[in-house]
A and B are shown apart, each in its own frame.
Chain A
Amino acid sequence: MDTSKPAIFVNGGLLPMHVRKRVRTVVQVIGSDRGAVIGKSTDDQQLSVKGTPPSVPLTNFVEVIGIADSEKSIQAEIWTNFGDTFDTYSYNQLCQLANGECQLLFL
Chain B
Amino acid sequence: MFSSTQFDVTSAFSGGGFMPSQSTQLTDSAPSPAKSRDSQGLVPATVKQISQASHSGDEKSSFVIDGVDVTNVTVVGMVFDKAEKVTDVGFIVDDGTGRIGCRRWVNENFDTTEMQNIQDGMYVRINGHLRSFHGVRQLLAFSVRPVTNFDEVTFHFIDCIHTHLQNSKLQLQGGASIQSHMVESSVNTPVRSGSNGNQTSTSIQLSKQYSVDGLKDCDQLVLEYLQQSSSMGQEKGTHIDELCQQLRLPMEKIKGSIRSLEDEGLIYSTIDEFHYKAT
Measured CB to CB, the residues of A under 8 A from B are: 1-7, 9, 24, 26, 61, 63, 65, 78, 80, 82-83, 86-87, 90-91, 93-94, 96-98, 100-102, 104-107
Contact = CB atoms under 8 A, between A and B. Distances in A.
A86 to B, nearest CB: 6
Give chain A's interface secondary structure class. Answer: mixed
A1 B136 CA distance: 7
Nearest to B101: A1
Given A61-B150, A63-B150, A91-B154, A105 B48 contact: yes
Interface of B: 46-51, 78, 96-101, 121, 123, 136-138, 149-151, 153-155, 157-158, 160-161, 164-165, 174, 177-178, 181, 183
Given A1-B101, A93-B183, A101-B174, 5 more contacts: A1-B47, A9-B96, A80-B78, A83-B150, A104-B48
Contacts of A87: 151, 154
Contacts of A2: 98-99
A15 to B, nearest CB: 15
Contact of A107 (B97, B121, B150, B153): B97
B183 A97 contact: yes
A65 B183 contact: no
Contacts, number: 91
Contacts of A61: 150
B96 A97 contact: no
Given A6-B48, A101-B178, A65 B96 contact: yes
A86 B151 contact: yes
Contacts of A6: 48, 96-98
A91 B153 CA distance: 9
A99 to B, nearest CB: 10
14 contacts: A1-B47, A1-B50, A1-B137, A1-B138, A2-B98, A2-B99, A26-B150, A63-B150, A65-B96, A83-B149, A90-B151, A93-B181, A105-B49, A106-B48
